[in-house]
Structure 1
Amino acid sequence: MFDARLRPLIDPPLNRLGKLLAGMGLSANGVTFAGLGVGIGAGWALASGHVSLGLALILANRLLDGVDGAIARATQLTDWGGYFDIVADFAFYVAVPVGFALLSPGNLLPAVVLIASFTLTGTSFLAFATIAAKRGLETTAHGRKSFFYNTGLAEGSETIIAFIAMCLLPAHFPQIAYTYTALCVATVVQRTLVARATFAQAP
C-alpha cells in the first residue's frame, strides 16, 4: 500500500549508494546473502529474548534488501538475482514470527496464523507475477524489478511497520499478529479480484 508512494523518496539515495558499492566491487547477490543471514539472525535474537537486537537486525535486513536491488540496477538485473531476492525475503518474513513464537508459548498460535497468512499473500503475489510475465505485462510502480510486482494492501512497508510494532510492544505480539493477518487476508482477496479482472479474458 505504501511501497509505491515511498519509492520516489528512497530510490534516489539508494541508487546513488548502489552505484558507489557496485564501483567498489560488491555484488547484488552477495548483499542479498548477507541480508539473508541478518534476517535469520533477527529471528534467533527474538527467540533468545534479545528483542532490541532483533529490531536492529530487522532494520539492517531491510536496508540490505534495498541496497541489493540498487546494486543490481547499477549493474545488471538477472533472473537468478530476482529469484534469490524473493526467497531471501520470504525466509526473513518467516524468521521473525518464528522468533516470537519461540520467545513465548502464548505467541505460538498467532505466529502460526501469521505465517499462514504470509503463505497466502506470497502465493497470490507469485501467481500473479507468473501469469503477468506469461502475458508480457510490466509495471514500474515499485521501481525496476526482475518480475511483475503487484500492489496490495499488505506489502513490504506494512510488514516492517508490523514487525517494528511487535518489537516495541512484544507483550502485544498476539494482537498485532492477528491484526496484520487480517490485512494479509484482505490483500489476498484484493489481489484475487484484480487477477480475475486482469486475466479473465484470453490474451
Structure 2
Amino acid sequence: MFDARLRPLIDPPLNAAGRALSRMGIGANAVTLAGLVPALGAAFAIAQGHFTLGLVLIIVNRLLDGLDGAVARASGITDFGGYLDTLADYVFYVAVPVAFGLASPVNTAPAMLLIASFTLTCASFLVFAAIAVRRGKETAAHGTKSIFYSTGLAEGAETIAAFVAMCLWPERFPLIAIGFAVLCLATVIQRSLLARQAFTPE
C-alpha cells in the first residue's frame, strides 16, 4: 500500500549505492544471495528467542534486498535476477513466521495462518504478474522491476512493519500475526477484483 509512495524517498540513496557497488564489480545476484544469510540468521535467532538480534538481521536483509535491485538497475536487469530476487523475498517472508512458530507453542497456529495467507498473497501476485505481462501491461509505480508489480494493501513496507512489531513485542505475536493475515487475505480479494476488472473482456 505504501511501497509506491516510499520509492521517491528510498530510491535515490539506494541507486547511488547500487552504482558504487556495480563499479566495484559486485553483481546484483551476489547481493541477493548475500541477503539470504541475514534472512536465515534472523529466523534462527528468533526461533531461539533472540528477538533483538532477529530484528537487526531483518533490517540488514531488507537493506540488501533494496541494494540488489539498485545494482541491477545500474548494471542491467535480467530475468534470472528477477526470479532470484523474488524467490529470496519469499524465503524471507516464510522464514520469519516459521521462526516465531518455533519460538513458542502459543505462536504455532497464528504462524501457520500467517504463512497460509502469505501463500495466497504470493499466488495472487505472481499469477497477476504473469497474465499482465502476457497482455503487454506495464507499470513503474514500484520502480523499474523485472516483473509486473500489482498494488495491494499488504506489500513490502507493511510486511516489514509487521515483522518489526513482532520482534519488538514478541509476546503479542499471535495478535499481530492474525491481524496481518487478515490484511493479506483482504489483499487477495482486492487483487482478485482488480484482476477481474483488468482481465475480463469487454
The TM tier, using the shorter chain, reads over 0.9
- Provide the residue aligned with 1:38 in structure 2: 38
1:83 is aligned with what amino acid?
Answer: Y
2:13 is aligned with what amino acid?
Answer: P
- Provide the residue aligned with 1:199 in structure 2: 199
Deviations 1:81-120 (A, max 9, x none): 0000000000000000011011000000000000000000
Tell me if 1:96 matches 2:96.
Answer: yes
Q: TM-score, normalised by structure 1?
A: 0.99
SS in 1 for 2:154: coil
- Provide the residue aligned with 1:54 in structure 2: 54
Instruction: Give the CA deviation at 1:36.
Output: 1.3
Which aligned segments of 4 or more residues in structure 1 are displaced greater than 2 angstroms?
none
Distance in structure 1 (CA, Å) of the matches to 2:201 and 2:82:
28
Tell me if 1:80 matches 2:80.
Answer: yes
Distance in structure 1 (CA, Å) of the matches to 2:157 and 2:3:
6
Distance in structure 2 (CA, Å) of the matches to 1:41 and 1:124:
28
Q: TM-score, normalised by structure 2?
A: 0.99
Instruction: Give the CA deviation at 1:37.
Output: 1.8
Deviations 1:29-83 (A, max 9, x none): 0000011121111111100111111000000010000000000000010000000
Distance in structure 2 (CA, Å) of the matches to 1:138 and 1:88:
23
Instruction: Give the CA deviation at 1:166.
Output: 0.2
- Provide the residue aligned with 1:171 in structure 2: 171
Percent identical pairs in the alignment equals 63
Distance in structure 1 (CA, Å) of the matches to 2:201 and 2:126:
20
> Is there any run of 5+ residues in structure 2 with no aligned partner, and where?
none
Distance in structure 2 (CA, Å) of the matches to 1:40 and 1:198:
37
Distance in structure 2 (CA, Å) of the matches to 1:127 and 1:15:
29
- Provide the residue aligned with 1:162 in structure 2: 162
Distance in structure 2 (CA, Å) of the matches to 1:36 and 1:153:
26
- Provide the residue aligned with 2:131 in structure 1: 131
Tell me if 1:17 matches 2:14.
Answer: no
> Is there any run of 5+ residues in structure 1 with no aligned partner, and where?
none
SS in 1 for 2:151: coil
SS in 1 for 2:145: coil
Tell me if 1:63 matches 2:63.
Answer: yes
Q: Give the total of aligned pairs.
A: 202
Instruction: Give the CA deviation at 1:201.
Output: 1.1
- Provide the residue aligned with 1:182 in structure 2: 182
Q: Give RMSD over aligned pairs.
A: 0.7
Tell me if 1:4 matches 2:24.
Answer: no
